[in-house]
Amino acid sequence: MIDQNTLPQHIGVIMDGNGRWAKKRGLPRKFGHRTGANAFRAIARYANQIGLKYMTMYVFSTENWVRPQDEIDGIIKILRNYLDEMDDYIEENIRVRFLGDLSVFDEDIQQKMKRAVDTSAKSTGLTLNLAINYGGRAEITAAAKRLAKMAAAGELNPDDIDEKMLERNLYTGDDPPVDLIIRPSGEYRLSNFLIWQSAYAEYVFMDNILWPDFKPSDLDAALNEYSRRNRRFGGV
């Protein structure tokens, strides 16, 4: 059972282990991503059902472009198919957004992303952020450049720049800070994911499960672990 009083406001999920899942079964890595996409759909819907308000999913990093082209092509194909299903999420009152440099994608993908964002903007359930062509350092750099341009144009006094202002210029805008980061697959690192937003996040790393096998019960386990943490934010 999930205690609604202890639910985090914002969780981040590093969907790790797709390639290893496929390799263990003697399959090309793109099959792991395909199965991982199904897990993603199930977890997003479940998160909305239990009342989570913000969830950011690490879909594709700025560093992932160095992977084999066949794997990248498979991920892009999955993305296109997913974008064609956006109306289902809108019907479930899920607001969809995309975090990252989206300019690298084909025009049709960018248009589908824009349509998903626009048509789901008034949804009041889960805000589902998809971090794609995303990197935490690149995000902070882009925010700093934006503020620098405003200062150079005389629109902003540099002395007025503070943490809150920089935070509002991140991809996540006015989203609440990340309370919980979940990473299956046995890796123990952030991998350049939400490095500003997760400054005081709790971390739950799961050794014995790869993302394609991640189920709602695994999310429950992470949330229950989070509920047992004593969060002091630098206090005592």
Domain ranges in the chain are 10-227
62 labelled as ligand-binding? yes
pLDDT tens digits for range 76-128: 999 998 898 888 888 899 999 999 999 999 999 999 999 999 999 999 999 99
139 labelled as ligand-binding? no
Say what the pLDDT of residue 231 is. 73
Rounded to the nearest integer, the mean pLDDT of the chain is 93
Say what the pLDDT of residue 6 is. 87
Show the low-confidence residues of the chain (pLDDT under 50).
Answer: none
Say what the pLDDT of residue 87 is. 81
Count the helix, strand and coil residues of the chain and give each as a percent rounded to the nearest 5.
Answer: 50, 15, 35
168 labelled as ligand-binding? no
Say what the pLDDT of residue 233 is. 66
Q: Which of 83, 68, 86 is nearest to 32 (CA)?
A: 68
CATH architecture of the domain with residue range 10-227: 3-Layer(aba) Sandwich (3.40)
- pTM value is 0.93
Tell me the catalytic residues: 16, 64
18 labelled as ligand-binding? yes
SS3 state at 234: coil
Spatial strand order in the sheet of 202-206: 95-99, 127-134, 54-61, 10-14, 180-184, 202-206
Provide the pairing of β-strand 180-184 with 202-206. parallel
